[in-house]
Chains A and B, each alone.
Chain A
Amino acid sequence: EVQLVESGGGLVQPGGSLRLSCEASGFDFNPYSMNWVRQAPGKGPEWLAYISGSSNTIYYAGSVRGRFTISRDNAKNSVFLEMYSLRDEDTAVYYCARRTRMIRGVISFYSMDVWGQGTTVTVSS
């Protein structure tokens, strides 16, 4: 079964740090680009970070650039999100998601076809 399982969420004080992990199983992890996406209570999803299969290419959303770091360990089929200087507004469910590339004719389309169940991060004093 294709699966992503996140861990590492919890309660943290403002200004604190946290490291999230996401372990993949059921598919060949190495070639796939991975993403972290969060969803605050009652809000739509917010894409946070992207890492290519080889870790050569990394992108961040402006809201977390400089505070969050994405990385991966292909030997462990895992992707990570290190979060620093956490703020109240970082409170959310954090998901890892596999990026998929679908081709129609000569055009590639990108979306996220496999998601974990999410891990909850609460930033509060």
Chain B
Amino acid sequence: EVVLTQSPGTLSVSPGERATLSCRASQTVTNNDLAWYQQKRGQAPRLLIYGASSRAAGIPERFSGSGSGTDFTLTISGLESEDFAVYYCQQYGGSLFTFGQGTKLEI
């Protein structure tokens, strides 16, 4: 099973700044099939990025994903107040999904 480790656990930034979140896999992610989700308190996760770098429908351009192999990054440029939430990475391989433990983005 692929284990995903996210860092940092908590990231403190200010509105307008850029946030860089990391997700490291314990082994190579098949086809770089890595997604990112945003979750706000009391809500279900929301798909942001799939295939490591493609934005899901309706996701603003300030969200971008990059990386390959075992190291992936979610970058949020020009942070807005609504972006403060918890972010999870997720990989798909061998017909199974695994998630990271999350990075909390706070002011």
Measured CB to CB, the residues of A under 8 A from B are 35, 37, 43-47, 50, 57, 59, 61-62, 95, 97, 100, 102, 104, 107-113, 115-118
**CB within 8 Å for A116 and B96 given contacts A104-B54, A110-B33:** no
Check: B35 CB closer than 8 A to any chain A CB.
yes
Chain B interface residues toward A at CB < 8 A: 1, 31, 33, 35, 37, 43-47, 50-51, 54, 56-57, 88, 90, 92, 95-102
CB distance from A65 to the nearest CB of B (A): 11
Cβ–Cβ < 8 Å partners of A100 in chain B:
47, 50
Count of A-B contacts judged by CB separation below 8 Å = 70
Residue of B nearest to A118 (CB): B44
Q: Which residues of B contact A35 (CB under 8 A)?
A: 97
Task: From B44, B47, B56, B92, name the one whose CB has the most chain A CB atoms within 10 angstroms.
Answer: B44
The chain B residue with its CB closest to the CB of A60 is: B96
A-B residue pairs in contact (CB < 8 Å), sample of 24 = A35-B97, A43-B101, A44-B88, A44-B100, A44-B102, A45-B90, A45-B99, A50-B97, A59-B95, A95-B45, A102-B51, A104-B54, A107-B31, A108-B31, A109-B33, A110-B92, A110-B97, A111-B50, A111-B56, A111-B92, A113-B47, A115-B44, A115-B46, A116-B44
Given A102-B51, A107-B31, A109-B50, CB of A115 within 8 Å of CB of B45 = yes
Of the candidates B44, B54, B96, B100, the one whose C-beta lies within 8 Å of that of A109 is B54
Main DSSP-derived SS at the A contact region: strand
List, in ascending order, chain A residues with CB within 8 A of B45's CB.
45, 95, 112, 115
How far is A35 from B95 in the complex, measured between Cα atoms in Å?
11
Taking a contact as CB atoms under 8 Å apart, the answer to whether A109 and B102 are in contact is no
- Tell me which residues across on chain A come within 8 A of B43, comparing CB atoms: 117
List of B residues within 8 angstroms of A110 by Cβ: 33, 92, 97
Residues of A within 8 A of B56 (CB): 111, 113
